[in-house]
Amino acid sequence: MRGLADTGLVIDALERGIEGDGISRDQALLLVEHADRGSLLQAARSVRDRSKGRTVSYSKKVFIPLTNLCRDYCGYCTFRTDPLPDREPFLTPQEVLAVAEAGCRVGCKEALFSLGDQPETVFPEARAFLRRQGFGRTLEYLAAMTQLVLDETGLLPHSNPGLMPAVDLGRLKETNISLGLMLETGSRRLSRSGGPHWRAPDKVPLLRLQTIEEAGRLSVAFTTGILIGIGETAEERIDSLLAIRELHRKYGHIQEVIVQPFRAKPGTRMALAVEPSAEDLLETLAIARLIFGADMNIQSPPNLLSNDYPKLLEAGINDWGGISPVTKDYINPEAAWPDISLLAEKTAAAGFALRERLAIYPEFSSRPGFVDRRLQSPLRKLQGEDGYARN
């Protein structure tokens, strides 16, 4: 319901948001239901402009899909597969290195490892491959592959391997400049039979929040966020953002929050589900900016909004995320990343300067305890004096 933007409570909530220290749950709900869209986006923009200025960042990355095998069956996913007769279950070390080197040749600085969750727990083929390589678990193989890429190419690894127990977070921190796990949603309802997270044991919100919390305890610079439009209510969306904020307020380790729109993909259970509109995405980004306040980096990928992506800047974001000049977005293969020079042009046309950052944001790379000693030297080689990527 719109049209009550002039009521005192709505104005108070907007003013509180503009202060940049974060708004309460009640204020967020009030704004979602009653603020007019223009005022909401304007408030988010003003917070962003004051804290981040007119700089919008991105990371030049190469995407390494270590394995598509996954024990989960999320209703919207085309990335996962069961074992296929004509395909190795994982990339081999040689293949990993070949992709990383291709990225190096075109100036990438981040090696993004994305993979399915714990396939070895359900697929004998995965266990056999890992055993041949000398490992028992996917997360151990991942640690070795990130080490390999770091040692051989100097690219800074960032991994999104799903749930991570503390022991794996600690090990991966030695070779990953940052780690990530999308919360996606805090709603347990969506795990029920037939829902988007049905048959997805790794999407239980409590378990994901445990990984995010453990990362905080270990001072891991962490990326997380929400996936919108998978059946959650506006209230659940806000609660998901607040759950992330609560952990960030406790540990200070969330370096960026992503708001990603669901995209319906042929061949999935949710192929016919309605996608969230651009307006819905913009409003959620604005609410995220007001919930997290001035300091947080708010990101939305440009390739999921076709050519309209500069509009995202109107909702208070300050980061485009990782863009690869060499590999496709394996999670959304139908959505090509924009060419980086075009991204720079469009960002400039909207009044912003595009800056390349590393897979760790400048404010985290200088914080004591966040960068393992083994990563200090590779980091320095790629980082300029102001913490962004060296030209």
The DSSP H or E segment spanning 224 is: strand 222-228
- The type of residue at 172 is L
Residue/partner pairs of 6-12 with CB below 8 Å, 24 or more apart: 7/34, 10/34, 10/35
For ligand SF4, the closer CB: 197 or 248: 197
Per the CB < 8 A criterion, the answer to whether 351 and 54 are in contact is: yes
Binding positions for ligand SF4, rule: CB under 6 A:
70, 72-74, 77, 79-80, 116-117, 162, 200, 202
Ramachandran sector of residue 188 (left: φ over 0; alpha: ψ -120 to 50; beta: rest): alpha
Closest distance between ligand SF4 and the C-beta of residue 71, in Å? 7
Residue 12 and residue 355: Cα distance in Å, rounded? 34
For ligand SF4, the closer CB: 73 or 234: 73
For ligand SF4, the closer CB: 97 or 122: 122
Per the CB < 8 A criterion, the answer to whether 352 and 56 are in contact is: yes
Other CB atoms within a 10 A radius of the CB of residue 38 amount to: 10
Half-sphere exposure at residue 88, Cβ-oriented, CA atoms within 13 angstroms: 14
Closest distance between ligand SF4 and the C-beta of residue 70, in Å? 3
Closest distance between ligand SF4 and the C-beta of residue 303, in Å? 17
- The SS3 call for residue 390 is coil
For ligand SF4, the closer CB: 79 or 251: 79
The DSSP H or E segment spanning 44 is: helix 37-52
For ligand SF4, the closer CB: 275 or 295: 275
Closest distance between ligand SF4 and the C-beta of residue 88, in Å? 17
Closest distance between ligand SF4 and the C-beta of residue 113, in Å? 13
Sign of the torsion formed by the C-alpha atoms of 200, 203, 204 and 210:
positive
Per the CB < 8 A criterion, the answer to whether 312 and 305 are in contact is: yes
Closest distance between ligand SF4 and the C-beta of residue 202, in Å? 6
Closest distance between ligand SF4 and the C-beta of residue 275, in Å? 16
For ligand SF4, the closer CB: 147 or 191: 191
For ligand SF4, the closer CB: 70 or 359: 70
Closest distance between ligand SF4 and the C-beta of residue 68, in Å? 7
Residue 167 and residue 174: Cα distance in Å, rounded? 12
- The type of residue at 324 is S
- The type of residue at 308 is D
For ligand SF4, the closer CB: 162 or 378: 162
For ligand SF4, the closer CB: 35 or 70: 70
Residues 6 or more apart whose Cβ sits within 8 Å of residue 47 = 17, 18, 20, 289, 290, 293, 294, 316
Closest distance between ligand SF4 and the C-beta of residue 211, in Å? 13
Can you spell out the DSSP letters for 155-200?
-EEEEE-S---HHHHHHHHTT-SEEE---B---GGGGSTTSTTTT-
